[in-house]
Amino acid sequence: MGLFSKDIETLHDLFLHTLQDIYYAENQITKALPKMIEKATDDQLRAGFEQHLEETRGQIERLEEVFGLLDEKVKAVDCPAIDGIIKEANEVAGDIAGKAVLDAALIASAQAVEHYEITRYGTLIAWAKEMGHKQVIPLLQATLDEERATDEKLSDLAESGANARADNIPA
């Protein structure tokens, strides 16, 4: 049995399923971020996670607006991909004793989440354009822009010192 239900026959069906998938993912991320905030030892990283938690709550609201604009019921479907990324992040973080290495691992885990979200939102935008759902594109694009900005901030944190501290190299 595949991951998708047999009632996906059209691009709209696939779009809706993917929308439900990312809605689930965003809600799971709001549950995971407080744990990451608690584990982060770098003040900038912690503040970045706190900011992204607030952004994620706004992204959930935007997704709910997208459902409404499409006259669809707000619904989530299980997303094994995000569940796996979050599970792996928790396992890795649980195995790390060094604070600097933990921060580097948290950044990497957060980027794995961001990259997943970036692919999902990019796909949803392309499909929305194809189907003429112009009214939802700005909402999806706003979230995609936030996800890309978060990924860039995480890269900057890693490259400006977090990775060097994890490798015991002075930044």
Q: Is residue 18 part of a domain?
A: yes
Count the domains in the chain: 1
Q: Is residue 2 part of a domain?
A: no
Whole-number pLDDT of residue 74: 98
Measured from the Cβ of residue 128, the count of other Cβ atoms closer than 10 Å reads 21
Domain of 137, CATH number, reads 1.20.1260.10
Q: Is residue 168 part of a domain?
A: no
Q: Is residue 111 part of a domain?
A: yes
Task: Show the domain range for 155.
Answer: 11-163
Q: How many Å from the N-terminal Cα to the C-terminal Cα in the chain?
A: 50
Closest to 109 measured CA to CA, from 97, 98, 101: 101
Q: How many CA atoms lie within 13 A of 83 on its CB side?
A: 6
Whole-number pLDDT of residue 90: 85
Whole-number pLDDT of residue 33: 94
Residues 96 and 102 sit within 8 Å (Cβ to Cβ) = yes
Residues 165 and 45 sit within 8 Å (Cβ to Cβ) = no
Consecutive 10-residue averages of pLDDT for the chain (171 residues): 67 97 97 93 93 97 98 96 92 81 91 97 98 98 98 93 79 49
Whole-number pLDDT of residue 1: 34
- Asked whether the whole model's pTM tops 0.75, one would answer yes
Q: Is residue 171 part of a domain?
A: no
Distances (CA, A) of 114 to 38, 71, 107, 120, 166: 19, 28, 10, 10, 21
Q: Is residue 119 part of a domain?
A: yes
Whole-number pLDDT of residue 148: 98
Whole-number pLDDT of residue 7: 81
Using alpha carbons only, give the angle 131, 127, 6 rounded to the nearest 5 degrees: 95
